[in-house]
A = this chain, B = another copy of it.
Amino acid sequence: MKENKYDNESFFKQYSQMARSVSGLKGAGEWHAFQKMLPDFHGKRVLDLGCGFGWHCRYAVEQGAAHVIGIDLSEKMLNKAKEINNSPLIEYKCLAIEDFTYEPDSFDVVISSLAFHYLESFDNICSKVYQCLTTGGSFIFSVEHPIFTAQSGQNWYVDEQGKRLHWPVDNYFSQGNRTTTFLGEQVIKYHKTLTTYINSLIRSGFEITALIEPEPKKTMLENVPEMQDELRRPMFLIVSAVKK
């Protein structure tokens, strides 16, 4: 079942107040790493899976993309995208990522930011992206790190004073759904192992070109004290691959 939490009024309101929603890409802790893994967008046909407010779509256009399609399950997110990140070169479509289909050779670049951990099957995504990309085309995505998604609690293990002792890992090889709390709401995510992410790509015909577990930028580490804890365990995984 495709959960559409972002169309829930209170969840959407909370999400709209996050730094990454208000300030766009520069408000996202992992953007500096994601940005470095993106290819040259000049003249490229781009697909953004789970585009949300459309910040990445707009970035692609600003970097010279010829045409960008952003798909998202949430109408509320897309309405906001059309309001704040509009462009004649961007087409926003209300669609679940699981349901997109495009003809072979439709895109030169496919990107996705923090969306795939909401989807049950990564294999399915890989084969669909492979099919619609041109040969030599790029696929770049970020997800919550398997170490982050393994336990449904998705939280630090703390002592009685609330001090963060360490990050607890458990149930790693039990892939599947995890009910967790995000922005005060129950959200369903799907834990996948690193093995699943990497081998699904390779088996689908992609060559891995880089893998990054991003660390916060130096300025964020200096200005936001709790960012120091982000050096204690990986939260995100960013992978880039090309269609062979």
Q: State the CA gap A168–B166 with chains docked (Å).
A: 6
CB within 8 Å of B: which A164-194 residues: 165-174, 193-194
Any B CB within 8 A of the CB of A210: yes
Q: State the CA gap A195–B171 with chains docked (Å).
A: 22
CB distance from A20 to the nearest CB of B (A): 21
**7 further contact pairs, Cβ within 8 A, besides A165-B168, A170-B232, A198-B210:** A147-B169, A157-B166, A166-B170, A173-B213, A174-B231, A193-B213, A195-B212
Residues in chain B near residue A171, CB distance under 8 A: 231-232
A-B contacts, 11 of them at CB < 8 A, read A147-B169, A166-B168, A169-B169, A172-B234, A174-B231, A195-B212, A195-B213, A199-B210, A199-B212, A202-B209, A207-B207
Which B residue's beta carbon lies closest to that of A145?
Answer: B194
Residues in chain B near residue A211, CB distance under 8 A: 194-195, 198-199, 202
Residues in chain B near residue A198, CB distance under 8 A: 208, 210-211
Residues in chain B near residue A208, CB distance under 8 A: 198, 202, 207-208
Question: If the complex has contacts A194-B194, A198-B208, A208-B208, are A169 and B213 also in contact, measured as CB distance less than 8 A?
Answer: no
Residues in chain B near residue A199, CB distance under 8 A: 210-212
